[in-house]
Structure 1
């Protein structure tokens, strides 16, 4: 006899709690930014507390969660979550130091060597003509390449702007001209040895005297 099992999903959809692989310090830092920013722009009211807004934004940025999903689970409009994500991205970008500033800080603290490498941030496949330029032939996937700079202990100092996925790491490195910035402050860099004069030059940058 066929059983008539009830549907698990109700008319309003399902809501679930997700666990993010992030530290509480990240959440608190983001919540502080979201707490101070509305006051500065003269719009102090928000539909949720700063801590909860920070958690929703992190879910969207870290796990590629669709804005409409956390919006529906919290009784919000999708546009509100999208606006919060854009606000947070803008606040974080404003706090990113320039390459010169990051290198000068290392030099002032007595550092002599920095680590330089490239990475690809994977993205979804885009539609139409935008799809081809974001495909990385080297890694056989879609994404956006960045150049990252860290100190000798691997702590992140600076990240370049993203570029189309078809851009090679060598081309991105040449565009940002890290060797010129390194020489200006008397620092050397350690990079993976690529079959290119650009990366060889980076590896042979003069150390601080």
Structure 2
């Protein structure tokens, strides 16, 4: 039976839930970071509390959830979610270690090796001229390229800024001056290049 106010063919908003594989520690860390930021900029009011903002932003970042879909389910604008996402990403990036400091920390701990690997994070296809440079011929998909450094146990110690998906690992390493930073930290670079 149809509601009298609802015409045939009218759109109905449905809200659904999705599971995010995130630890409580991650959510709490980002929430504390956002609360400190809001206090520092003296933001007196947001449409949602910091904890809910963080969960929405992490859903966008981790689950690739569309901002428009999340906006409808939470009663806020999609542009607000995009602004929150940019704000949280900037806060996380500001706390990231610089490459030289990360390598110096590994050297102080007596680390034997540093592993360098490039990876492609898949993204949606873009329109216009930006489309082609984000296409990786090696992976046959669109995305952004990142270089990551890990210690001998595989723990992440540094990650580069995003580059177009077509960027090769060696090109990214040259732009970030990885070899020079390794030598300055007392590490000799291996002659084997990544083939993955």
TM-score of the pair, normalised by structure 1: 0.84
State the partner residue of 1:38.
38
Q: CA RMSD in A?
A: 2.3
User: What is the SS of the residue equivalent to 2:21?
Assistant: coil
Cα displacement string for residues 22-67 of structure 1 (whole angstroms, at most 9, x for unaligned residues) = 1111111111112111110111311112111111011111111111
In the alignment, structure 1 segments of 5+ residues that lack a partner are 196-209
State the partner residue of 1:94.
94
Give the conservation status (yes or no) of the 8 Å contact 1:116–1:190. no
2:180 pairs with 1:180: yes
1:122-201 to structure 2, matched below 5 A, reads 122-188=122-188, 193-194=193-194
Give the conservation status (yes or no) of the 8 Å contact 1:116–1:189. no
1: CA distance, partners of 2:49 / 2:194: 48
Give the conservation status (yes or no) of the 8 Å contact 1:120–1:144. yes
1: CA distance, partners of 2:192 / 2:147: 12
In the alignment, structure 2 segments of 5+ residues that lack a partner are none
Cα displacement string for residues 104-129 of structure 1 (whole angstroms, at most 9, x for unaligned residues) = 11111122311111101111111121
* 1:193 Cα deviation from its structure 2 partner: 3.9
TM-score of the pair, normalised by structure 2: 0.89
* 1:190 Cα deviation from its structure 2 partner: 6.0
Q: Which 4+ stretches in 1 moved above 3 angstroms?
A: 4-7, 9-12, 188-195
User: What is the SS of the residue equivalent to 1:96?
Assistant: coil
State the partner residue of 1:207.
none
User: What is the SS of the residue equivalent to 2:164?
Assistant: coil
Give the conservation status (yes or no) of the 8 Å contact 1:115–1:190. no
1: CA distance, partners of 2:48 / 2:30: 14
1: CA distance, partners of 2:186 / 2:105: 12
Matched pairs, number: 191
State the partner residue of 1:28.
28
* 1:12 Cα deviation from its structure 2 partner: 4.8
2: CA distance, partners of 1:137 / 1:192: 22
